[in-house]
Amino acid sequence: MTSKKSNWIFAAHAIETAYSYWKASEQLWPQFPNVAVINAALSIEIALKSFNVEVSGNKGKIDESYSFKSNLKGPQRHDLIKLYDILPDDLKCRLLDKSDLYYLDKLGAAEPQPKSNRIYSIKKYSSTPYKRSS
């Protein structure tokens, strides 16, 4: 069995951006949990993508920019499980363990509930959506 080995750069600006979205999600949670969840998910997406980038501009500067190198297309480029799947094997075991993957698979993706007081329902897990308290 062959495994993919790490060949990644430390994308400092991407990690700092991911951290900023995470901190924003913490601050937003008490009053705007739906916005907080989106910020947290974006934080995770940026962090996962940071392992598959190459510097595309301003190398070594504070506003360094990156190009995402992947075969993922369209919506797949935002799918957290697919982004995890393309990581090198020696990184995967450092980020999530089997129980994390089990629960992510069990819960499935959060589905937005348009035109209602529902924030999210978790498919595969619960038919009872979270309702915002008045």
Higher-scoring residue by pLDDT: 104, 16? 16
Does 6 reside within a domain?
no
The answer to whether residues 21 and 54 belong to one domain is yes
Q: What is the tens place of the pLDDT at every residue in 73-122? A: 888 888 888 888 888 888 887 887 777 777 766 665 444 445 444 444 33
Same domain as 58, residue 45: yes
* Whether 77 and 124 share a structural domain: no
Q: Is residue 1 part of a domain?
A: no
Is residue 7 included in any domain, yes or no? no
Helix, strand, coil: what percent of the chain each, to 5?
Answer: 50, 15, 40
Residue 19: both structure tokens together: 């951290």
User: Which domain, by its residues, includes 107?
Assistant: 101-134
Q: Are residues 90 and 68 in the same domain?
A: yes
Judge whether residue 37 has pLDDT over 60: yes
Tokens matching residue 111? 């589905």
What pLDDT shows up at residue 96?
78
Q: How far is CA 37 from CA 5, 21, 43, 88, 120, in A?
A: 32, 10, 10, 27, 10
Q: Which residue has the tokens 């999600």?
A: 25
Write the pLDDT tens digit of every residue in 39-70: 999 999 999 999 999 999 999 888 889 998 88
One domain, residues 41 and 77: yes
**CB-based contacts of 31-38 (< 8 A; 24+ apart in sequence):** 33/119, 33/132, 34/119, 34/120, 37/110, 37/119, 37/120
Tell me the pTM: 0.69
Asked if the structure places residue 3 within a domain, the reply is no
